[in-house]
Amino acid sequence: MPTKYIIVTGGVASSLGKGIICASLGRLLIARGLRVTIQKLDPYINVDPGTMNPYEHGEVYVTDDGAETDLDLGHYERFLDERMSQKNNVTTGRIYFDVITKERRGDYLGKTVQVIPHITDEIKSHVLKLGNSEDYDVVLVEVGGTVGDIEGLPYIEAMRQLRYEVGRQNTLSIHLTLVPYLAAAGELKTKPTQHSVKTISEIGLSPDIIVCRSEHKLDTGIRRKIAQFCNVEVADVIESLDASSIYEVPLLMQREGLDERVIEKLGLPCKNADLKRWTEFVDRVKYPKHTVRIALVGKYVEHHDAYKSICEALIHGGAMNNTRVEIAWVHSDKLGDISAGVSEDISAGDNDSFAPLLDADAILVAPGFGDRGINGKFAAIRYARENKVPFFGICLGMQCAVIEFARHVAGMEGAHSTEMDVNTPYPVIDLMSEQKDVEKMGGTMRLGKYRCRLAEGSKAFEAYGAQEIEERHRHRYEVNNELRDQLEEHGLLCSGINPEKNLVEIVELPNHPWFVGVQFHPELKSTVYTPHPLFVKFVGEALKYAQQKVAAKSGEGSWDRSGDGSDLHSEENIGR
Ligand code: GLN
């Protein structure tokens, strides 16, 4: 069977959730036994999002092979439970970069290099690379941006050409639009959809299926109208209502018959979708038995997309514990300075901005760059360490935990990372040796998958249940091996080490119920079907903390936070 290509475009407005629709359709097709991947075509001129501000673009999603990609690839992995790679994300910057490199090399033999055919050929070659790999029955291509944008035109044109090259019967065009509700008129409006479909049809990619985002149900009349004006059958008008969880979308799309229409039109021989496991997961997300509050401390907290994968990994970990995770967003900038002996101050409620920390059942300090809000991170970590609140530090969060420990436990006054203070007397976090001569910003960090060996008996070892693991990285700094002994002498356990380079990957505190910092990004590998063990354990510890707090308040139990924490994962808590 030739590979099938499903091209997904969006119109009317941005942020309609094209990525989630693609990921949901991908999940439905996989559930039918097909081999599926998704490729995102991004119209911006950056070669990759690696150099973009998180406020601008949200999280940078890193793949195993070290590609810095669009956050939609995170959704693809979480929904498909399949690994993505550099091949799954293409940007205009990358396309032009490659075409110009070829031109400089003389590859075009003196021809004038033009958008058509050179740029469009380059775009198609990226799509066909996945399709011709023989690894997939279906390649879903998500065209970023909104139809009508100047930047998106070469992509639409390339997809129009692709349909003829691989045969129309092997391709399908799906268009996602918005059907707004006009309260004053008391009705849903189809005109924006008609216009959007008209625009995309004029440039040669008329849709076979129209997915309509809407806040209200589409009745038969509306569906008929859209079908009639947009040249599709009524059954090809798919309603996409707001869902309480993104993980519900595959179920809603199945109910609307999206996958059914797709396989019929493409003539895909396949079984019915088995979504039992998925449905169980969604039930656990929607109707959990417990709730915990986790404080997420970072400097981009106004923009939740900057921490997308962390939020999703907490949902996965929560589902495994039958627990809803409420995130208390804490701006590290507002937590102030710790020099005044923060534990006493904040327990006394001196500082209002600490309130979410005092309420929290666990504290997570997020990844990041630069020194803005750094003291607030130290304050939150010190509070978690001294008060035995479950703590999870990720990348910069882990580095801050090492600095805080150095300063307040190991007696290394003024300890810091050379990222923030090059003159620190104790550079406990320092630039990695291979980073010292790096001058360019893009794609030059320690990126992608690296091995890590775990210390037996450690909390990390217990969580993973394995001796060796692989995790994804995105950083330039590391724990300074020259000061490691001094930290270990005072009780810091370096429980995960990269065997090739002897780099510290995980630190923890044995005399704390759960205090773990990781140099890598575990959130990037958490999926619905493979929730990340550290997130499962972290939420479990938060739940245990919450239950101890309640028991202590009602006078039933002792408030014992001295130990190393017994296993929380009782059958009852896991709810399996
Ligand atoms: N800024 C730190 C480094 O480069 C941490 C990076 C991160 O949190 N992703 O090492």
3-state secondary structure of 351: coil
Question: Which atom of ligand 1 is the closest one to the Cα of 397?
Answer: 8
At residue 288, does pLDDT exceed 70? yes
- Summarised one tens digit per residue, pLDDT across range 530-559 is 999 999 999 999 999 999 988 888 876 666
Give, using CA atoms, the residue closest to atom 5 of ligand 1: 396
3-state secondary structure of 281: helix
Distance from the alpha carbon of residue 161 to the mean position of ligand 1, in angstroms = 42
3-state secondary structure of 330: strand
Query: Taking a C-beta distance cutoff of 8 angstroms, is the pair 450, 427 a contact?
Result: no
**Quick one: which of 35, 531, 55 has its CA closest to 316?**
531
- Summarised one tens digit per residue, pLDDT across range 66-117 is 999 999 999 999 999 999 999 999 999 999 999 999 999 999 999 999 999 9
Give yes or no for residue 430 CB within 6 A of ligand 1. no
At residue 387, does pLDDT exceed 50? yes
Distance from the alpha carbon of residue 486 to the mean position of ligand 1, in angstroms = 23
Give yes or no for residue 137 CB within 6 A of ligand 1. no
- Summarised one tens digit per residue, pLDDT across range 156-187 is 999 999 999 999 999 999 999 999 999 999 99
What's the average model confidence in pLDDT over 381-407? 97
Residue 62, beta-bridge partner list: 68
pLDDT reported for residue 561:
66
Query: Taking a C-beta distance cutoff of 8 angstroms, is the pair 145, 151 a contact?
Result: yes
Give yes or no for residue 476 CB within 6 A of ligand 1. yes
At residue 1, does pLDDT exceed 90? no
Distance of CA 380 to the CA centre of its chain: 24
pLDDT reported for residue 524:
98
Label residue 573 by pLDDT band (50, 70, 90). very low
Label residue 215 by pLDDT band (50, 70, 90). very high
- SS3 per-residue string spanning 377-414: HHHHHHHHHHCCCCEEEECHHHHHHHHHHHHHCCCCCC
pLDDT reported for residue 342:
46
Q: Which residues are catalytic?
A: 395, 521, 523
- The answer to pTM > 0.85 is yes
Label residue 336 by pLDDT band (50, 70, 90). low
Give yes or no for residue 369 CB within 6 A of ligand 1. yes
**Quick one: which of 362, 370, 374 has its CA closest to 338?**
374
pLDDT reported for residue 562:
56
* Weakest mean pLDDT among 249-263, 432-446, 448-462, 512-526: 432-446
